[in-house]
Structure 1
Amino acid sequence: MEAFKLSPDVDVRARDFAIGCIGAGMIMADNHLEAYRQAGFDVAVIASRTEENARAVAERYGIKTVHETPEALLADARIEIVDIAFPPDLQPDLIRKALAQPHVRAILAQKPLALTLQEAIALRDEARAAGKILSVNQNMRYDQAMRVLKQIIDAGHLGQVVFAQIDMHAIPHWQTFLADYDRLTLANMGVHHLDILRFLFGEPTEITTVARTDPRTQFTHSDGITASTLKFANGVMALSLEDVWSGPREEGFDDDIHIRWRVEGTDGVAKGTIGWPNGAPSTLSYASKTATGGKWVTPEWETMWFPHAFIGVMEQLQYALKSGTEPELSVADNVRTMALVEAGYRSMAEKRTVALSEVPVE
């Protein structure tokens, strides 16, 4: 029924470069490496802070070489791409050590790239000076519903977008290291949503963010539940809610965990869900005056954000190296997402709307 071909998942255009993985926690073990296994990427070596953990993950995925330390992995001349899954306070040091290795051609880092916007900008500039690719794992851009939504918007089937909303009521797994930071939800969960809004609609001009603490989160934090209103240069208004409380979560209580989204335009509407909280594929339905005769159409797929989106994350980096082009998830682009997060925190602290012009990145 669709007026054009929709592509919820990427085609793998390159598998040419050997990967060294640093980290053996959930995000690496259950998502990166499972995605790479399915796509046929070459993971040559692995290391972590705890060698025993790295060996267990290596056995699980048939990785032949385990190094005792991340530094030993970085010195391995076989490695062309370094994939880092480390906390953001430790990640910049590893990135800098990787940039210094002549055989390392590209680095995939986690988000947030660093604890401050200033350090993220410094890493961007250092990678540029080294002539190497630094890419940041904004994996929600490869969620199947978000990819299809982007295709529908770019094809003009919604007309001029007027309004968008992401409505999250779900409970993230907060990694233990987050208890040491002063920022929580916007930096570690909302960053997905703020980045995807940039991906869909371009650069925002202003953001207003409010927050309160989350009753379930026991460690000290400034932002538990967050709500942001954004305006974009093209006139789009967007709302992003991160409700990490979402109600009692206890035996006998029927909760309603979900993430729903909606985009309204002059010629159509798209809506759907993000399947991550429930371990299901994300969904999308859309009705367009020009493409569907005003009737609702619901394309379907079986792949999911976790782990399948991570195929796209590594594929775009492999292809950038092979083709000599800029990666889709460039560090320069990610710095702009970090600037948006920074503006959100400034809005919370100062209780006002913050223009993005107040947070320069150049």
Structure 2
Amino acid sequence: MSSTTMAAEQSELFPDVEIRCRDYRIGCIGVGMIMADVHLEAYRQAGFPVVALASRTEAKARGVAERYGIATVHPTPEDLIDDESVQILDIAYPPDLQPALIRRALRAPHIRAILAQKPLALDLGEAIALRDEAAAAGKILSVNQNMRYDQSIRVLRQLLDRGDLGAPVLATIEMRAIPHWQGFLESYDRLTLANMSVHHLDALRFLFGEPTEIMTVAREDPRTAFDHEDGIVVSTLRFPNNVLAVSMEDVWSGPREEGFDSDIYIKWRVEGTRGVAQGTIGWPTGKPSTLTYASALTTGGQWVTPTWDTHWFPHAFIGVMEQVQYAVDTATPPELSVADNVRTMALIEAGYRSIAEHRPVLLSEFDL
């Protein structure tokens, strides 16, 4: 293949979204790291209008609002939801508290759409109820599965859609990184599978469609001090056409102490009948995600490495909010719809059933 043809192939890959709409007033709830450093920074860069902010602690909200030039700070999340200037509600809140805020927003006539944090709720039953209540209210409810907008995952999906890799055979996501577990997780009976694996399992659904079964095993993480069952997690999924995928969340990843050279990363690899793609997720290192691929069909079997300067954090979050605004503007379902997210929640639920019953669990066991 000539260098000119190969360059043309790369020019048709799009790691970041086109901003089609930035016209709706956003109110944000929560001022933890993910909102203060990621959501709001993404919206600032994209020119999305954030008009109000609230948190459980008003003083913290005022500090973040001053940082971003947000004019209005409400004393409570409920007051923000009642603010008639807010058209899109963006929630970054614990999953046990989030459903009540969503339901209040569904009753607010001025709120056109809601972007909820993941996991949407503590269990599948509550997620299904929220899906159905949003549909009955005629409101857009979207769930922030932001890994779908990571640049390497987006380009990988484009390669799969183009057929560069042929038919998928095997996929792996290998995480060896140490999350900062938020304090509210200590009171839950679900940890890594619901709060970290959810990124990877949803990304696998985005890439390969609906899995037919999952087998999940777990053990405790030696570093996590509070009681938990699912610390280190490994899940094997089977998809139609016999595609296999493995997702591993190693939240231990070895000693992390003075003098120990820790190796922290998230890597993925997809093998197809006509090519291979592999890459890294930049979140643990603060670098852009990467992708390199070789195709017997489009690269002459040579490895090609598209590049970009944007990051998962914060740039992927531009795509997440953009798809909500575009859905409002066009009266169409968002790409990250609650109906789709219920299927990711079902996959999480199936993983917990697999851990408890020590067996592969079919997704057909769940009535969605």
TM-score bucket of the superposed structures, by smaller chain: over 0.9
1:356 to 331, 354, 363: 363
1:104 paired to 2:107:
no
For 1:164 and 1:71, locate their aligned partners in 2 and report how far apart those are by CA, in whole Å: 43
SS at match of 1:211: strand
Other-structure match for 1:122: 129
SS at match of 1:246: coil
Other-structure match for 1:35: 42
Deviation sequence 1:9-58 (CA, Å, 0-9, x none): 00100011000001111110000000000000000000111000100000
For 2:23 and 2:137, locate their aligned partners in 1 and report how far apart those are by CA, in whole Å: 22
For 1:149 and 1:293, locate their aligned partners in 2 and report how far apart those are by CA, in whole Å: 18
Deviation sequence 1:259-305 (CA, Å, 0-9, x none): 11100000100001111101111000000011111100000011110
Other-structure match for 2:292: 285
Q: Which amino acid aligns with 1:247?
A: G
Deviation sequence 1:211-242 (CA, Å, 0-9, x none): 00000000000100000000002321000000
Deviation sequence 1:94-113 (CA, Å, 0-9, x none): 00000010000100000000
Consecutive unaligned residues of structure 2, counting only runs of 5 or more, are: 1-5
Q: Which amino acid aligns with 1:280?
A: K
Q: Which amino acid aligns with 2:364?
A: S
Deviation sequence 1:300-325 (CA, Å, 0-9, x none): 01111011100000000000111111
For 2:27 and 2:241, locate their aligned partners in 1 and report how far apart those are by CA, in whole Å: 41
For 1:234 and 1:121, locate their aligned partners in 2 and report how far apart those are by CA, in whole Å: 28
SS at match of 1:285: strand
Other-structure match for 2:190: 183
Other-structure match for 2:3: none
For 1:38 and 1:234, locate their aligned partners in 2 and report how far apart those are by CA, in whole Å: 41
For 1:276 and 1:360, locate their aligned partners in 2 and report how far apart those are by CA, in whole Å: 35
For 1:335 and 1:219, locate their aligned partners in 2 and report how far apart those are by CA, in whole Å: 28
For 1:152 and 1:233, locate their aligned partners in 2 and report how far apart those are by CA, in whole Å: 19
User: What displacement does 1:170 show?
Assistant: 0.5
Runs of 4+ deviating beyond 4 Å? none
Other-structure match for 1:239: 246
For 1:218 and 1:30, locate their aligned partners in 2 and report how far apart those are by CA, in whole Å: 26
Other-structure match for 1:149: 156
Other-structure match for 2:255: 248
1:169 paired to 2:169:
no
Other-structure match for 1:298: 305
Other-structure match for 1:320: 327
Other-structure match for 1:213: 220
For 1:139 and 1:360, locate their aligned partners in 2 and report how far apart those are by CA, in whole Å: 26
SS at match of 1:277: coil
2:74 to 67, 78, 81: 67
Other-structure match for 1:347: 354
For 1:116 and 1:342, locate their aligned partners in 2 and report how far apart those are by CA, in whole Å: 7
Other-structure match for 1:138: 145
The normalised TM-score by structure 1 is: 0.99
User: What displacement does 1:194 show?
Assistant: 0.3
SS at match of 2:284: helix
Q: CA RMSD in A?
A: 0.6
For 2:146 and 2:356, locate their aligned partners in 1 and report how far apart those are by CA, in whole Å: 28
The number of equivalent residue pairs is 361
For 2:316 and 2:366, locate their aligned partners in 1 and report how far apart those are by CA, in whole Å: 30
For 2:61 and 2:284, locate their aligned partners in 1 and report how far apart those are by CA, in whole Å: 27
Other-structure match for 1:199: 206
Q: Once structures 1 and 2 are overlaid, which stretch shifts more, 149-158 or 234-243?
A: 234-243
User: What displacement does 1:255 show?
Assistant: 1.0
For 1:22 and 1:226, locate their aligned partners in 2 and report how far apart those are by CA, in whole Å: 30
Q: Which amino acid aligns with 2:347?
A: L
